[in-house]
Amino acid sequence: MWTCRAGFESHLFEELAWAGASPRMLGEVLVESETRPAEPPVFARTGIRVLTSLPSGQSLDQTAGALAERILVALPQGMLVLQSFTPDSPAGNRLADEADALLEAVRSRLPADRLLEETWRAREAGATLVELCVAPGAVLMGEVPAREALSLSPGGRQRMRRAADSPSRAAMKLEEALVNLPFEPGRGEVCVDLGAAPGGWTQRLVARGARVIAVDPAKLMPELAHHPRVEHVQESAFAYTPEEPVDWLCCDMAWRPLEVAQLLAKWGRRDWATHLVANIKLPMKDKNPLLLRVRHILTEEGGWQGLTMRQLYHDRDEVTVTAHRSQ
């Protein structure tokens, strides 16, 4: 079972169908598939293998007891990270208190020494995520090994607090993308930030110790424009050429996706950057066919490798791409 952003169910359904995974709509923001496709679906926030589904309306005690028993039978060994979520829709969000209560009730029935509290350690500890989904009409329970999970956050809702000094909401998209990468921009590295204004991404890169060349005809917030490790190139990204190759190419340009993909492919072909994090805007109705073309341009024409393409929790009508060049 997959979760997605509200309104994106049909796009998720379509890509699962194209992958031959036999999807079925379960309800708002929930899509089920018979098999797991080889490539993680772009529009899925998270996915679990459903172990049981119970009708809602039973007592908390009954539901929690049945779920705990099923968890212990299906997963007799190993560390577990237990989480609960509700579908991210108005009807789902009204069930948040029930989801919290169920989480505590199931937790109290599982052996404490098998429960890992530090979710961020789940992958290195080889733990299994056990997710309780409290949806209108049913409670579903499923699992996914943390190393295969698309997200370690309940239901893929990677909530982050916006930093008080952040010039834009966009910074959270970069933060979320970097959480999923094995390495991130750091001290001494050079990043080019295409479509940088007002400076949310640039600020997060500078905070990590990197030097940033921010390319955008629009203005950066003054603190960044005067920062010693920021150079603002006030021109179009299509006209800009780096003086020498850089470590990271970041791109959040509000521009046509195919033209942005061509630009990123040019950077790849010319070996102008080693790592790529790019946000691709998708205002059109037919998103999947366009994403196929973007993927083709980046990999076949640009030589970008290890491409991931995901609609992250902080992405709206857009997806985030990461990739690298071989070194």
Phi, psi of 282, deg, nearest 5: -130, 65
Which residues sit opposite 46 in a β-bridge?
Answer: 3
**Interface mask (CB under 6 A) for ligand SAM, residues 149-178, using x and -?**
------------------xx-xx-------
Q: Which is nearer to ligand SAM, 126 or 283 (CB)?
A: 283
| Sheet with strand 138-145: strands edge to edge | 49-55, 138-145, 128-135, 80-85
Which listed range, 11-19, 144-152, 213-221, 304-312, lies at the site for ligand SAM (CB under 6 A)?
A: 213-221
Q: Which is nearer to ligand SAM, 41 or 195 (CB)?
A: 195
Query: Out of 142, 199, 257, 302, which residue is the one contacting ligand SAM (CB under 6 A)?
Result: 199
Q: Which of 173, 219, 266, 281 is catalytic?
A: 281
Which listed range, 101-109, 135-143, 175-183, 196-204, lies at the site for ligand SAM (CB under 6 A)?
A: 196-204
Q: Does 254 bind ligand SAM (CB under 6 A)?
A: yes
Q: Which is nearer to ligand SAM, 159 or 256 (CB)?
A: 256
Instruction: Give yes or no: 287 in active site.
Output: no
Q: Does 194 bind ligand SAM (CB under 6 A)?
A: yes
Q: Does 280 bind ligand SAM (CB under 6 A)?
A: no
Minimal distance in Å, beta carbon 46 to ligand SAM?
25
Are 18 and 35 contacting, i.e. CB atoms less than 8 angstroms apart?
A: no
The number of beta carbons lying within 10 Å of the beta carbon of residue 227 is 19
Q: Does 44 bind ligand SAM (CB under 6 A)?
A: no
DSSP 107-126: HTTS-GGGB---GGGTTTTT
The single residue listed with the structure tokens 């629009």 is: 218
The number of beta carbons lying within 10 Å of the beta carbon of residue 120 is 11
Query: Out of 215, 233, 265, 323, which residue is the one contacting ligand SAM (CB under 6 A)?
Result: 215
Minimal distance in Å, beta carbon 276 to ligand SAM?
15
3-state secondary structure of 214: strand
DSSP 230-268: EEEE-S-TTT---SS-EEEEEE---S-HHHHHHHHHHHH
Catalytic residues: 281
